[in-house]
Chain A
């Protein structure tokens, strides 16, 4: 009986290792072929480590491939979206959760509808709006829609955090003569810091990786983000794989670095989002 158990355990372990290989091998292959020449990729050395480490692939991707510009654009758009989402979500959450007014329940339910509405709903009307305002091909063209669609989740997350803050703190400040802005700024905001990183992670992954809005609202390469930039690059570098591999790695490494340092926090953030949503 015991022996059988051991055999079963080893089989399960082997299966888990096999799946690990399936998940990691394509990524390993991506990293290695980003440093190889076509000759190596296409036959000489398909799956080994590069014989010659061709860092030129990275230079080519960053300069002629424009990846440096796209990277900066993605960074600006993502940072802008995080900032706007956090400001809008925190102030609204405070009004929705702590302040007293008629219709706040209804307002809250309306915001929560935003969790299920797919971005398809907005794409054409928002595109027409942006076109009429001459705002396509700008950072705002992405930051504003991204923030609007991130808002529901951000409010949900900050609501669950704010409920954990005892009301006595605000009451005490009130007795000391603080007004509502003072209470929000000096008491609530500092205590909401853990919510900020959760929202930040959530919005970062969404904005950094988004494709549909970015494809349609931006066609000037000056404002192109990474996801669209990579699409274009692969269209123009059809025969040379190395620089494309380099571009893929460049787009991926910020995410991987973030994961290496705060993997647990990222997993928790996405769990909160899923379970609450």
Chain B
């Protein structure tokens, strides 16, 4: 048996497809991105090595607007963790108690999760349409004409208008994670608390939620990291506009690289996005760990 399992040719053959894919598309490109980020390069002419200049520009150049995109990403992350996860938790706690139609609700709330973000984005673009969209039409029919806006074209509302479809689409995903997590907690624990006279609120607060911490950690990581690398919904709805009001790091990166041919500067943004994703994933894990102790 051992001899069969040590067959070197077989190991090589079995590992080959995955290794080639992984090295060529993920490992090598990460290092190349790191290298490009140290260049001043438009992709055609000779590149010049500029060291960390691109990174310094990221944080100091007014016209580049990177700090603004970070702020927007953090606003999205904050809204996701509070509103989206809050709503998901409320839904999961109510449904997991076992009420009539619970499977129906879970199934329905999960539908938007699977639909392409492009489709959802296009659909919400119609909903937000200033003249014929559902929102403004509803406001007008209620006589609230003053409240109508060009939701996606207004600098004050664009970022929030982008967030609402994101919440609408992914609340079901977080709800499903939490719902499954609650279902895997032994019912006897909640029953024991009930016999001891705990109210529904107390049971959730002191029994269910503490036991749900590992799942909540996953949800918070997804919400924060997802906001840091968000692209699809924003690209479809506003592409960062108006006047960068809803610009996020990913949309800035794509427009810098592929519209303005700033390969070096764009790569520096890419590296920052990777760094932030890893940094926040680790940070959130640390925070949850100290909380448990």
List chain A positions with a Cβ less than 8 A from chain B.
9, 12-13, 16, 19-20, 22-24, 26-27, 29-30, 33, 41-43, 46-47, 84, 87-89, 91-92, 94-96, 98-101, 107, 110-111, 114, 116-118, 120-126, 128-129, 144-145, 147-149, 151, 155, 170-171, 174, 179-181, 183-184, 205, 208-209, 211-212, 215-216, 226-227, 230-231, 234, 241, 244-245, 248, 251-252, 255-256, 258-259, 263, 266-267, 270-271, 274-275, 277
Beyond contacts A118-B273, A125-B32: 9 other A-B pairs, Cβ-Cβ < 8 A, are A13-B100, A20-B109, A92-B17, A92-B19, A121-B274, A129-B24, A148-B24, A184-B14, A267-B176
The 14 listed contacts between A and B (C-beta, < 8 Å) are A9-B99, A26-B127, A26-B168, A92-B19, A95-B11, A99-B5, A99-B10, A107-B15, A124-B266, A144-B25, A209-B116, A211-B116, A231-B236, A258-B114
Known A16-B94, A148-B22; contact A88-B118, beta-carbon cutoff 8 A: no
Asked if B125 is at the interface of the complex by the 8 Å CB criterion, the answer is yes
Known A91-B17, A92-B15, A211-B231; contact A120-B250, beta-carbon cutoff 8 A: yes
Asked if B142 is at the interface of the complex by the 8 Å CB criterion, the answer is no
A19 to chain B, nearest CB (A): 7
Contact partners of A88 in chain B: CB under 8 A: 17-18, 21
- Cβ of A205 and Cβ of B18 under 8 Å apart? no
Contact partners of B29 in chain A: CB under 8 A: 121-122, 124-126, 129
Asked if B123 is at the interface of the complex by the 8 Å CB criterion, the answer is yes
Contact partners of A151 in chain B: CB under 8 A: 18, 21-22
- Cβ of A101 and Cβ of B33 under 8 Å apart? no
Contact partners of B2 in chain A: CB under 8 A: 100
Max chain B Cβ within 10 angstroms of own Cβ: one of A41, A88, A129: A88
Contact partners of A107 in chain B: CB under 8 A: 15, 19
Q: How far is the CA of A121 from the CA of B80 in the complex (A)?
A: 24
- Cβ of B222 and Cβ of A274 under 8 Å apart? yes
Contact partners of A30 in chain B: CB under 8 A: 123
- Cβ of B263 and Cβ of A124 under 8 Å apart? yes
Asked if B172 is at the interface of the complex by the 8 Å CB criterion, the answer is yes
Known A26-B124, A145-B25, A270-B176; contact A122-B33, beta-carbon cutoff 8 A: yes
Asked if B151 is at the interface of the complex by the 8 Å CB criterion, the answer is no
Known A23-B168, A212-B254, A275-B218; contact A122-B26, beta-carbon cutoff 8 A: yes
Q: Which residue of A lies closest to B102 (CB)?
A: A16
Q: How far is the CA of A23 from the CA of B180 in the complex (A)?
A: 20
Asked if B253 is at the interface of the complex by the 8 Å CB criterion, the answer is yes
B2 to chain A, nearest CB (A): 7
Indicate which residue in B6, B110, B258 contacts A267 across the interface (CB closer than 8 Å): B110
B5 to chain A, nearest CB (A): 5
Asked if B277 is at the interface of the complex by the 8 Å CB criterion, the answer is yes
- Cβ of B132 and Cβ of A256 under 8 Å apart? no
Asked if B134 is at the interface of the complex by the 8 Å CB criterion, the answer is yes
- Cβ of A263 and Cβ of B14 under 8 Å apart? no
- Cβ of A117 and Cβ of B274 under 8 Å apart? yes
Q: How far is the CA of A2 from the CA of B17 in the complex (A)?
A: 64
- Cβ of A227 and Cβ of B25 under 8 Å apart? no
- The 8 nearest A-B residue pairs measured at CB: A148-B25, A92-B18, A125-B29, A209-B116, A95-B14, A125-B32, A88-B17, A122-B29
